[in-house]
Amino acid sequence: MKKRILFLLLSIQFTSNYLLAQKSFLQKQGTATQLIVDGKPFFVLGGELGNSSAACTQDIERIFPKLERMGLNTVLVPAYWDLIEPMEGQFNFSLTDQVLQQARKNNLKVIFLWFGAWKNSMSCYAPLWFKENYKKYPRAYTRSGKPLEIASAFSEAVYQADNRAFSQWMNHLASVDKEEGTVIMIQIENEIGMLEDARDHSKEANKAFNASIPSPLIEYLQKNEKKLHPWMLKKWTESGRKKQGNWQEVFGEDLYTDEIFMAWHYASYVEKLAQTARSIYNVPLYVNAAMNSRNRKPGEYPSAGPLAHLIDVWHSAAPSIDFLAPDLYDDDFTGWVAQYHLHNNPLFIPEIRLTENNGVRAFYVFAEHDAIGISPFSIEDASDAPNNPLVQSYAKLKELIPLLAPYQGKGRMRGLLFDQTHKERILTEDDLILTCRHNFTLPWDPRATDGSVWPEGGGLLLKLAANEYIVAGSGLVIEFAKNTEKTMPADKKKLGEDGFLQAGKADKESWESNEKETTQTWSGSRCGIGFVDEVTVNPDGSLKYIRRLNGDQDHQGRHVRISVGDFKILHVKLYEYR
């Protein structure tokens, strides 16, 4: 028994020392998964460079100082196979070294994106010597036999070439960065997936398709039956939950069976690269997905990528991958992020369309989904002006990190996001009802009613204690009320900006109306706003007072608000009265 206890203590000590030696790793806190960098929780306030923006040293030197001015703490940067190994067996890491040098000079962390065998499905970043030798490095084929500009995942030669370059690059990274820890994560490949068909129809792929399903996948489905993604459980169930057979016998004959098959083989390929990475430089690893949106079918979108409905296949075949990440370019932002924040998958957004709405969305995902980070694409095209919403947002979030980090995964934060269609969200906290709305629901800003498209408004709500909150973000208004207040007659009087009745009635009409409204006796307590203070957050998480917002700024105690275009942190204290 003593030997067993000693072994456990030594194991714990080894694990602790191992994690301390690593500059970045993932760690659970409550229901959240946090990225730990240099011993502290790290929120990726990132931006991804355009595909060709790290292909020459001059661009890197020009762009990186701008990213620091914008307030980023992380930049996502492609690592191009074709430029790293332009001649077979000859490697050039000068661009990688320049990225690391400029990142350190400009106080940025780096997430590298391995553009290897596949980028947006295609093999466009494979070197020319690889592309030309299609007999040695074969392509995927459509059902009709058409060869594609997509390397076959069923070719050992393709994997060996990709992995050789990847391992050489990883060894170089380890030699120049293990002490510094500038690289905090690595993305393996980019938006893997089959196009034109749901799966590869090459001779090798067809042979694998007609063979028995790998036993590890069936074992995974059985072991995790109660936790499977609803889509996967339904697909397996509809085909009889068979435990053996080929892919069509187990999952049925349709495009989605083709996709499941292909996902297994893409993920198995990625797993081998991930094991290479783990053995050389063990930083967190992830894969990213192009969305299955707009009613497209597999092959019309990149089929078999690391999509939410295929998460069980990817987890089974690629257990060394830490999470699956969505690239978001479609509408319904809140719906997409909810699909990827799962019990077995933390949310990280490596790509999102660059818009002025990214600022409030960053607040939303960190609070509502305990996100690891967010990263607008082609970030170098954004403005570094101080009034840029993303610049303002990142500045406030940097302040907030020491305060927010201890609360992630503990159910104390809510994210708020509003637009012209989704204007309101009602929350309950203890015996309070919080009515949260877009700030343009108050008719005081002419942009609310002049036909302009509303910019998104939102932010976060953090409960510090009973009747005490942090409200942060832009373009939102929150009213607080006791549950008992909602049982009383609704006040339908329209008030002006000064808090007075917008328009009165004739004396007799006003008296009769007042008589009707006072027939029910008020009971219970009410909630009032004790104070609203604009604050900053100190590095230790404590609050520093800036100014008291009272009178017109909280509508004489009726609500808490932050105007559209402003990014603020507010400390709100409530009280009760009868």
pLDDT in tens, 514-568: 555 555 677 789 999 999 999 999 999 999 999 999 999 999 999 999 999 999 9
DSSP annotation of 152: -
CB 476 within 8 A of CB 418: yes
Q: Span 113-118, mean pLDDT?
A: 98
Beta strands in 120-245 (DSSP E): 139-141, 147-151, 183-190
Lowest mean pLDDT among 125-139, 284-298, 442-456, 461-475: 442-456
Using alpha carbons, select from 33, 39, 23 the residue that is nearest to residue 323: 33
Report whether pLDDT(233) > 80. yes
How do 424-429 and 348-352 pair as beta strands? unpaired
Using alpha carbons, select from 464, 456, 440, 470 the residue that is nearest to residue 534: 470
User: Which tens digits make up the pLDDT trace of 424-433?
Assistant: 999 999 899 9
Q: What is the CA radius of gyration of the chain?
A: 27
- Report the mean per-residue pLDDT for the chain: 93
CB 41 within 8 A of CB 366: no
Please give the domain boundaries of the chain with CATH numbers for all domains: 42-198+263-402 (3.20.20.80), 414-513+521-577 (2.60.220)
Which tokens belong to 492?
């339908």
- Please, which residues have CB within 8 angstroms of residue 183's CB and are 6 or more apart in sequence? 24, 100, 109, 110, 111, 112, 173, 177, 281, 283
325, 328, 331, 332 alpha-carbon torsion, rounded to 10° = 20
Report whether pLDDT(448) > 70. yes
pLDDT band at 484 (very low <50, low <70, confident <90, very high): confident
Distance between CA atoms of 445 and 391, rounded to whole angstroms? 23
- Please, which residues have CB within 8 angstroms of residue 366's CB and are 6 or more apart in sequence? 43, 397, 404, 413, 415, 460
pLDDT band at 296 (very low <50, low <70, confident <90, very high): very high
- Please, which residues have CB within 8 angstroms of residue 571's CB and are 6 or more apart in sequence? 468, 469, 470, 531, 532, 533, 534, 535, 543
